[in-house]
């Protein structure tokens, strides 16, 4: 990064971003919470106590990126003190509740001098960034402090905004300061090398695949639904759906529920707002609906509406077919959480943000719903034809199996090895 670009970013661009955030915080509770957390993080990280174990520092933008690197956190956490920072409240709030043996913080403000002080206090053995959330002063300060930095699960689609000439010009020297970039595909490697003139790029795959296998193993010990409710029934799970996903599915599903009395539906809204829950209850009330938090009274109802968050990945174990949401709104959510169970997977047209979703379509291992007629015809065939349903599920399962192992490859690049009894190989 040239001296002029450094000067502009450190003293004009980033301070302006921060000023805008503070003004927005006056009207937005989420932004206000995040800023308050950042001020607290600055104090705590600058005074970080010495630990018996060496520190490994992870950064994830939000909950999704954090979940994807859980295999790395799990294995490195056996020998290191894990410190994780988050850009958004979703990841921070979830991690604070679930993983007490780790230290979690909001991402501090991106000031160069501040990062030098934080790295001096933490003295991390390495910094691992999940997927894409790169901050210029953080990376530059890590390099100045002698802290190796790695970008994992890195992807760069042909339509990415990061290919904008202005972004490329500014961030090219930042990417070049990273010790290594571990991409999920060969196409991503080529784009990073071509657009950012980096040579320290290696294709290792995506730890997301390893995480869903670990999560699947852990789910075996969890009982979230009554066994009697799913026994001898075919359950369709609508995972992380928005109202935009619900619209083309509602009518077809009601028709199918009338045609097949062994069919049950698990509704899992991405955001369980009351108005959305009531809409589902109104449309499907004739089949019997019950909310997850009231399932003690679950008996003959054929529709279960999940009004809590954070358990979707474990709920897929009860499904025979899955629709993955987000793909009629802003981009598809995690397809692999459903695919790992070897069940047919459907989703909408907006799925190009997901490498695995696009690959599943190329391999004809998943199905795209674009309108109500698609939803009805695809689901009807999957319900009626058990052999077709099983074949579709096997193709999805095979895709997941072929893409595991990124955790092992990354750890080897970092100088570590998984034990013989590890879940992920």
- Say yes or no: 169 and 261 in one domain: no
Answer whether residue 394 is part of any domain. yes
Count of C-beta atoms within a 10 Å radius of residue 347: 27
Answer whether residue 218 is part of any domain. no
- Say yes or no: 394 and 409 in one domain: no
Answer whether residue 55 is part of any domain. yes
- Say yes or no: 299 and 383 in one domain: yes
Answer whether residue 418 is part of any domain. no
Answer whether residue 219 is part of any domain. no
Answer whether residue 421 is part of any domain. no
The closest alpha carbon to 336, from 322, 348, 350, belongs to 322
Tens of pLDDT along the chain (425 residues) come to 667 777 788 888 888 988 999 999 899 988 898 899 999 999 999 999 988 899 999 999 988 899 899 999 999 999 999 999 999 887 888 888 878 889 999 999 999 999 999 999 999 999 999 999 999 999 999 999 999 999 999 999 888 888 999 888 889 999 999 999 999 999 999 999 999 999 999 999 999 899 989 889 888 888 898 888 888 999 999 999 999 999 999 999 999 999 999 999 999 999 999 999 999 999 999 999 999 998 877 778 999 999 998 889 999 999 999 999 999 988 898 899 999 999 999 999 999 888 889 989 988 899 999 999 999 999 999 999 999 999 999 999 999 999 999 999 999 999 987 665 454 54
- Say yes or no: 156 and 106 in one domain: yes
Cα-Cα end-to-end distance for the chain: 39
Nearest-angstrom CA–CA distance, 78 and 71: 11
pLDDT digits (tens, 9 = 90+) for 39-66: 999 999 999 998 889 999 999 998 889 9
- Say yes or no: 409 and 394 in one domain: no
Q: Which two tokens stand for residue 211?
A: 């995480």
Nearest-angstrom CA–CA distance, 140 and 372: 50
Nearest-angstrom CA–CA distance, 350 and 325: 10
Domain of 198, CATH number, reads 3.40.50.11720
- Say yes or no: 115 and 251 in one domain: no
pTM for this prediction: 0.80
Domain of 362, CATH number, reads 3.40.50.2000
- Say yes or no: 331 and 246 in one domain: yes
- Say yes or no: 289 and 164 in one domain: no
| Three-state secondary structure of the chain | CCHHHHHHHHHHHHHHHHHHHHHHHCCCHHHHHHHHHHHHHHHHHHCCCCCCCCEEEEEECCHHHHHHCHHHHHHHCCCCEEEEEECCHHHHHHHHHHCCCCEEEECCCCCHHHHHHHHHHHCEEEEEEECCCCCHHHHHHHHHCCCCEEEEEECCCCCCHHHCHHHHHHHHHHHHCCCEEEECCHHHHHHHHHHHCCCCEEECCCHHHHHHHHHHHHHCCCCCCCHHHHCCCEEEEEEEECHHHHHHHHHHHHHHHHHCCCEEEEEEECCCCHHHHHHHHHHHHHHCEEEHHHHHHCCCCCEEECCCCCCHHHHHHHCCEEEECCCCCCCCCCCHHHHCCCCCEEECCCCCCCHHHHHHHHCCCCEECCCHHHHHHHHHHHHHCHHHHHHHHHHHHHHHHHCCCHHHHHHHHCCCCCCCCCCCC
Answer whether residue 420 is part of any domain. no
322: containing domain: 225-402
Q: Answer whether 407's CB lies under 8 Å from 72's CB.
A: yes
- Say yes or no: 152 and 181 in one domain: yes
Nearest-angstrom CA–CA distance, 148 and 128: 9
- Say yes or no: 372 and 409 in one domain: no
Answer whether residue 280 is part of any domain. yes
| Predicted pLDDT of residue 352 | 84
Cβ-proximal residues to 76 (8 Å cutoff; 6+ apart), any chain: 56, 82, 411, 416
- Say yes or no: 121 and 247 in one domain: no
- Say yes or no: 49 and 83 in one domain: yes
Number of domains in the chain: 2
């Amino acid at each position: 990064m040239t001296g002029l670009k450094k000067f502009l970013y450190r003293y004009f661009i980033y301070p302006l971003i921060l000023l805008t955030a503070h003004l927005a915080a006056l009207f937005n509770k989420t932004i206000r919470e995040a800023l308050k957390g950042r001020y607290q993080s600055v104090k705590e990280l600058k005074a970080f106590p010495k630990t018996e174990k060496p520190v490994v520092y992870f950064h994830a933008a939000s909950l999704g990126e954090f979940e994807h690197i859980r295999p790395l956190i799990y294995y490195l956490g056996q020998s290191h003190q894990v410190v994780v920072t988050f850009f958004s409240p979703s990841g921070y709030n979830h991690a604070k509740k679930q993983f007490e043996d780790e230290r979690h913080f909001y991402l501090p403000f991106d000031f160069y001098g501040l990062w030098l002080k934080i790295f001096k206090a933490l003295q991390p053995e390495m910094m691992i960034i999940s997927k894409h959330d790169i901050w210029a002063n953080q990376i530059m300060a890590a390099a100045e402090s002698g802290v190796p930095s790695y970008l994992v699960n890195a992807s760069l689609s042909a339509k990415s905004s990061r290919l904008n000439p202005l972004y490329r010009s500014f961030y090219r020297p930042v990417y070049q300061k990273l010790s290594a970039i571990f991409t999920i595909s060969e196409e991503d490697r080529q784009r990073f090398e071509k657009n950012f003139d980096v040579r320290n790029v290696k294709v290792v795959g995506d730890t997301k695949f390893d995480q869903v296998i670990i999560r699947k193993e852990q789910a075996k010990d969890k009982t979230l639904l009554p066994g009697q409710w799913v026994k001898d029934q075919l359950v369709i799970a609508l995972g992380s759906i928005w109202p935009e996903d619900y619209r083309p599915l509602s009518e077809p599903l009601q028709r199918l529920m009338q045609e097949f009395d062994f069919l049950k539906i698990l509704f899992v809204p991405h955001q369980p707002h009351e108005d959305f829950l009531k809409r589902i209850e109104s449309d499907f009330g004739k089949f019997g609906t019950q909310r997850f938090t009231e399932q003690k009274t679950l008996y003959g109802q054929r529709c279960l509406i999940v009004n809590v968050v954070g358990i979707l990945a474990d709920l897929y174990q009860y499904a025979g077919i899955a629709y993955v949401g987000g793909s009629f709104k802003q981009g598809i959510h995690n397809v692999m959480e459903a695919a790992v169970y070897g069940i047919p997977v459907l989703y909408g047209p907006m799925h190009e943000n997901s490498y695995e979703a696009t690959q599943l379509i190329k391999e004809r291992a998943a199905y795209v719903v674009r309108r109500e007629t698609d939803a009805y015809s695809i689901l009807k065939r999957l319900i009626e034809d058990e052999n077709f349903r099983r074949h579709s599920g096997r193709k999805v399962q095979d895709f997941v199996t072929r893409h595991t192992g990124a955790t092992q490859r990354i750890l080897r690049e970092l100088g570590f090895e998984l034990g013989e009894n590890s879940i992920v190989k």
